[in-house]
Chains A and B, each alone.
Chain A
Amino acid sequence: MLKRLRPLSLLAAVFSALSLASSGALAGWETNMTRGVTEISHEIYNLHMMMLYIVTVIGVLVFGVMFWAMFKFRKSKGAKPATWHENTRLEVLWTVIPLFILIGMAIPATMTLAKIYDTPDADVTVKIDGYQWRWQYTYLADSPDDEVSFFSALSTPRFEIRGEAEKSEWYLLDVDNPLVIPANTPVKFLITANDVIHSWWVPDFGIKKDAVPGIINESHTTVLETGTYRGMCAELCGRDHAYMPIVVEVVEPDEFEQWLAEQRGDTAAAGSETLNTAGQ
């Protein structure tokens, strides 16, 4: 775990971190959203930064005026109270200007939203099932025999959780069987749950979709870079809600094909070795 202490006060840390954005994704002082590795996650990140800048500017202006008033119009400095208490022009102005600012925010937000809803034809479809407290991944295929299915559960050992051993780098973020998907390929997720509501979230993909029992939610992604990406269940789902992480290995497409073929050989084996340490 690298800890990069920045010699800055709390508030200043925000602003510095904003500019240093996604450097050191895992430093203990990380303060901002990840830029992620998909087109969507980049757009989300940009929207987030846009919002942050706009509200910061508005905040500085509004609070600036307020503090100026607080210093200028003090009784102790002999300020005499005025009696005016209305100004229609001003009031209209500060109703209309925010409205325009909001329109300015809504347009790019709508465009990104539309892009998220624009589903490409996917080459790979994975059905994701939330269980208390692990995930099941099923690679759908035309014939049921070709389907690959396995459970993915937390693999952080209990004694680390109990504090009987040094916590490892990926404490609470490691699973036994990660989800594997190809890079630069549209992948479709069909997300549902078996018992209670869970939520499948991988920040780097910009995907968070609730897994609702009895309903299937669709989502999709095209990951631009290979690597290992981690997330956590994001909807309270009972006792071990903190202990159902998500790990996705994004590999080159040919590597993926090879992996999938191997799995087809022994789905059953992969499925049975996933008894949840925390969940049982």
Chain B
Amino acid sequence: MTAIPHDDHAHHGPAKGLWRWVVTTNHKDIGAMYLWLSFAMFLLGGAFAMVIRAELFQPGFSLVAPEFFNQMTTMHGLIMVFGAVMPAFVGLANYMIPLMIGAPDMALPRLNNLSFWILPFAFLILVSTLFMEGGGPNFGWTFYAPLSTTYGPPSTVFFILSMHIMGASSIMGAINIIVTIWNMRAPGMTWMKMPLFVWTWLITAFLLIMVMPVLAGLITMMLLDITAQTSFFNAAGGGSPLLFQHLFWFFGHPEVYIMILPAFGIISAIIPAFARKPLFGYASMVYATAAIAILSFFVWAHHMFTVGMPFAAQLFFMISTMIIAVPTGVKVFNWVATMIGGSMTFEVPMLFAIAFVVLFTIGGFSGLMLAIAPVDYQYHDTYFVVAHFHYVLVPGAVFSIMAGVYYWLPKWTGNMFHEGLAKVHFWMSFVGVNVAFFPQHFVGLAGMPRRIPDYPLQFANFNMISSMGAFLFGLSQLLFMFIVIKCVMGGKKAEAKPWEGAEGLEWDLPSPLPYHTFETPPEIK
């Protein structure tokens, strides 16, 4: 590495061996690393979920102690949110956005690699807390004070600092994505010509920049409460445990949209491709995404209906939350309208996309029910909420990621995946996810609180069904891993455009992609 690179730098291939991945500045390398990391984290977080479901298979103290169960719940939530879903979307953004807008790379390639490499270290710290004295975080992924401050385990400090660097990574990644989109579009790639995945990521990155620093501020206050006896969340000194929740959810609610907006983008690419018809209502899709993002700043206290807010506040947050159904509905209707009049085929990416539309909408419906403040008194902190967010996150966010992976895998690797096995993977996942999470609505409504390792007998039947569905779903993800690895190793050669109806700049490039693309900007009609 010389201080001043030579002129023909851009024509070098990748460095050799493993070192290539460590020092790379190439958006495709970095995107791939994000995706692999995220998949590893998905398996880890999923393994934790398997512990949860095994313990809940039947009532009683069956497998793990309550202390450990709480750590599993917490780590499962944290790892899935910050380790699986977010990095997967960032990985797809890295890989695809420069291709979609005709840019040679991300705007700031070295910063990009830094954003990635922080993450393995952050998760190393986070996971290592499980082996520390007193165990890892055991206060839920929402880590409410004072359970996490005054009553937290010693490792909480490690948890906080790992979150700090993870947040730094997210902010840098988001800045990079925004600047790339803003500044690196090929001539002629006007705003309203950008693929929706690019649009949704632009808005997601904006959300990240707005809320990750608030999370950083919040955990900094926690850190001070723990180590310097400040009183932010301590009522005796004039602070407030509720302040914690307001700050957390100011971050937390936009965070859940961070996990769904890019999914909308992926689905908006896949449905038109397999319906062979342009996306219906492109402009309204863009406006709806923006509307969802803006509204997401004003709804946070719908997670706090039971903390005892004044009437006016309850009403405000109830109504602002309900309004989000309108722009989200626009999206769902547009997808359906895209299908009408099309010429559809149902390859695996499309199957996942259709399942997404149906199951995400079901999750959205339960979200809307949760938004009704007086009824949320009965739903809050029960398995009904768990069912809600797994419907939007698993067959929502995770299915969209899988759809995207199947859609772009031929482009990335130059090989087709095994269509038959992938269909098996889809159907197993589809059945598994519903068997696992639909019954959770029932036990939730019947009164089962969340975050409990043991439960009264009336919830036993559905919990057993739910666990069986979860095991099926988990098992089918091993099949997914097999399919992806098999495809990376070889297979039927993929054409430049393996899907007949696919649109976008990425399909003009050969499969597999050359190491450098769009060194001179493409022509955009």
Q: Which A residues fall within an 8 A CB radius of B?
A: 1, 3, 10-11, 13-14, 17, 26-34, 40, 43-44, 47-48, 51-52, 55, 58-59, 62-63, 65-66, 69-70, 73-76, 79-87, 90-91, 94-95, 98-99, 102, 105-106, 109-110, 112-114, 116-117, 132, 160-163, 167, 169-173, 195-197, 199, 201, 203, 206-210, 212-215, 217-218, 231-243
In the complex, A203→B241 CA distance in Å? 25
Chain A residue with minimal CB distance to B445?
Answer: A33
B342 touches A172 (CB 8 A): no
Looking at the assembled complex, report how far the CB atom of B360 sits from the nearest CB atom of chain A, in whole angstroms. Answer: 12
Contact B345 A203 (CB under 8 A): no
Given A171-B457, A214-B235, the answer on whether A55 and B144 have CB atoms closer than 8 Å is: no
A31 touches which of B240, B280, B282, B446 (Cβ 8 Å): B446
- Whether A235 pairs with B457 at a CB distance below 8 angstroms is no
**In which size bucket is the chain B interface?**
35 or more
Report A-chain residues with C-beta under 8 Å of the C-beta of B325.
98, 102
Contact of B236 among A201, A210, A214, A232 (CB under 8 A): A214
Contacts of B458 in A (CB 8 A): 1, 26-28, 30
CB distance from B380 to the nearest CB of A (A): 6
Asked whether A82 lies within 8 Å of B147 as measured between CB atoms, the reply is no
List, in ascending order, chain A residues with CB within 8 A of B280's CB: 85-87
A210→B146 CA distance, assembly (Å): 13
Taking a contact as CB atoms closer than 8 A, the residue among B59, B319, B340, B442 that contacts A73 in the complex is B340
Q: Is the CB of B340 within 8 A of A99?
A: no
Q: Judge whether B354 is part of the interface by a CB distance below 8 angstroms.
A: yes
Q: Is B13 an interface residue (CB 8 A)?
A: no
- When distances are taken between beta carbons in the complex, the residues of chain B under 8 Å from A81 are 275-277, 341-343, 501
Interface pairs (25), CB distance under 8 Å:
A17-B442, A31-B445, A31-B446, A31-B462, A47-B374, A55-B369, A63-B361, A69-B336, A70-B354, A85-B282, A86-B283, A91-B281, A95-B330, A109-B372, A112-B374, A113-B315, A195-B151, A197-B146, A199-B380, A203-B378, A212-B241, A212-B307, A238-B151, A239-B66, A241-B449
B315 surroundings in chain A (CB, below 8 A):
110, 113
**What would 4 more interface pairs be, CB under 8 Å, given A75-B344, A81-B275, A116-B374?**
A30-B458, A83-B277, A99-B326, A214-B240
**Does residue B386 face the partner (Cβ distance < 8 Å to A)?**
no
Give Cα distance in the complex from A94 to B501, angstroms: 27
Task: Kindly name the residue among B240, B278, B280, B342 whose own CB sees the greatest number of chain A CB atoms within 10 A.
Answer: B342
4 tightest A-B CB contacts, nearest first: A214-B235, A242-B452, A82-B341, A217-B308
Q: Is the CB of A85 within 8 A of B454?
A: no
Interchain CA distance A92-B115 in the complex, whole Å: 41
Residue of A nearest to B341 (CB): A82
Task: Indicate if B358 sits at the interface (CB-CB under 8 A).
Answer: yes
Could you tell me if A80 and B343 are in contact, using CB atoms closer than 8 angstroms?
A: yes
Question: CB-CB < 8 A to B103: which residues of A?
Answer: none
Give the complex CA separation of A235 and B306 in angstroms: 10
- State A131–B61 Cα separation when bound (angstroms): 22
Task: Given the known inter-chain contacts A27-B458, A69-B336, please indicate yes or no for A86 contacting B442, CB distance below 8 A.
Answer: no
Chain B nearest CB from A133 CB (Å) reads 10
Contacting residues, chain B, for A91 (C-beta < 8 A): 281, 284, 330, 334
Q: Take A48-B378, A79-B344, A81-B341 as given contacts and tell me if A196 and B372 are in contact as well, using a CB distance cutoff of 8 Å.
A: no
Residues on A with C-beta less than 8 A from B380 are 199, 208, 234
- Chain B residues 332 to 373 lying within 8 A of chain A, measured CB to CB, are 332-334, 336-346, 354, 357-358, 361-362, 365, 368-369, 372-373
Most A-side CB within 10 Å, residue of B140, B357, B372: B372
Min CB gap A108→B, angstroms: 9
B336 x A28 contact (CB < 8 A): no
Q: Is the CB of B451 within 8 A of A241?
A: yes
Question: What's the Cα separation between A161 and B319 when bound, in Å?
Answer: 43
Cβ A236 vs Cβ B372 within 8 A: no
Q: How far is the CB of B159 from chain A (nearest CB, A)?
A: 16
Chain B contacts of A114 at CB under 8 A?
Answer: 311
B435-A10 in contact (CB<8A): yes
Interface flags for B6-31 (1: CB within 8 Å of A; 0: not) read 00000000000000000000000000
A-B contact number at CB 8 A: 293
Contacts of B283 in A (CB 8 A): 86
A10-B439, A47-B374 known; A73 and B451 CB under 8 Å? no
Across the interface, which residues of B come within 8 angstroms of A234, CB to CB? 306, 380-382, 449
Determine if B139 is an interface residue (Cβ-Cβ < 8 Å): yes
B342 touches A199 (CB 8 A): no
Chain A residues near B484: list those with CB within 8 A: none
Most buried by A among B140, B275, B283: B275
B375, A44: Cβ atoms under 8 Å? Answer: yes
State the Cβ distance, B524 to closest chain A Cβ, in Å: 19
Write out, one digit per residue, whether chain B residues 484-502 have a CB within 8 A of any chain A CB (1) or not (0). Answer: 0000000000000000010
Please give, as numbers and ranges, the residues of chain B lying within 8 Å of A208 by CB-CB distance. Answer: 306, 377-378, 380-381
Residues from chain B with Cβ under 8 Å of A236 in the complex = 70, 139-140, 144, 147, 381, 450-451
Q: Which of A65, A98, A239 is the one whose CB lies under 8 Å from B67?
A: A239
Q: Tell me whether A105 and B372 are in contact (CB under 8 A).
A: yes
CB within 8 A of A74: which of B306, B326, B344? B344
Asked if B257 is at the interface of the complex by the 8 Å CB criterion, the answer is no
Residues of A within 8 A of B318 (CB): 106, 109-110, 113
Shortest Cβ distance from B305 into A: residue: A208
Q: Verify B372–A167 contact, CB threshold 8 A.
A: no
Q: Is B456 an interface residue, CB under 8 A from the partner?
A: yes
Q: How far apart sit A30 and B326, CA to CA, in the bound complex (Å)?
A: 32
In the complex, which of the residues A28, A48, A161, A213 contacts B461, with contact meaning CB atoms closer than 8 Å? Answer: A28
- The yes or no answer to B183 lying at the interface (CB within 8 A) is no
- Asked if B48 is an interface residue, CB under 8 A from chain A, the answer is no
